[in-house]
Amino acid sequence: MFNPTKIIAIGLNYHDHAKEMNVSVPEYPLIFMKPPTTVILNGESIIYPHQTKELHYEGELGIVIKEKIKDISKDEAYKFIAGYTCANDVTARDLQRIDGQWTRSKSFDTFCPLGPRIVSHVDPIAGLEIITRVNGNIKQYSNTKNMIFNVYELVSFISYIMTLMPGDVIITGTPPGVGPLVVGDTVEVEIEGIGVLKNMVTAR
């Protein structure tokens, strides 16, 4: 179902998250990458690595690319999106602070749950509710219309940097309310019109 050559992630892409963090809205998308080995599917387990003491969830909308593209304008980006899915940008927050850059903290195996399906008929620009729950309790609640850079702008921006391949995934940033996970927790990311991505946290 998901076989990306790469996962491109966006930092700080919700107006309400920027307000929560008390930081300025970025002038252009802040991108980083996660390796394909981070991908797990709905119902599979997020493994809590021994290297971190502060594992966090980040519920996000994922964009799945339809075909090979390079240098695509934002006005034609919609033609090259296969659909949308739920994503969880699992992060070792303490390692992110220590390193000062994000590769290690975002790249452990199982750190990119995707699913439960890919949907093409939804419209993130018009607005989709996005909710993250931990053990049934709502932790994040926002709407994709609060994105700083919309899905078409993101596809275009990234395509001018790197070639995007069929199946590549762009995870579009998280709303406010990120927080910790512990072994035994169940985390759910629900996006209107797409469904619920559900994963449990387990020890290695």
**Each residue's pLDDT tens digit, 127-136:** 999 999 999 9
pLDDT confidence of residue 28: 96
Task: Give the pLDDT confidence of 27-63 residue by residue, as tens digits.
Answer: 999 999 999 999 999 999 999 999 999 999 999 999 9
Q: Is the dihedral of CA 163, 143, 201, 56 positive or negative?
A: positive
Backbone phi, psi, residue 100, to 5°: 80, -10
Question: pLDDT class for 184, splitting at 50, 70, 90?
Answer: very high
The predicted structure's pLDDT at residue 68:
98
pLDDT at 147 over 90: yes
What is the mean predicted confidence (pLDDT) over 175-193? 97
Residue 18 has pLDDT above 80, yes or no: no
| CA-based nearest residue to 128, from 111, 106, 150 | 150
CA dist list (Å): 152 to 69, 78, 99, 136: 13, 6, 31, 32
Contact criterion met (CB below 8 Å) for 7 and 171: yes
| pLDDT band at residue 1 using 50, 70 and 90 as cut-offs | confident
pLDDT for the residue 17: 82
| Strand ranges inside 12-144, DSSP E | 30-34, 39-41, 45-48, 55-57, 59-65, 81-88, 91-92, 112-119, 129-134, 137-143
Rg (CA), the chain: 15
21 residue type, one letter:
M
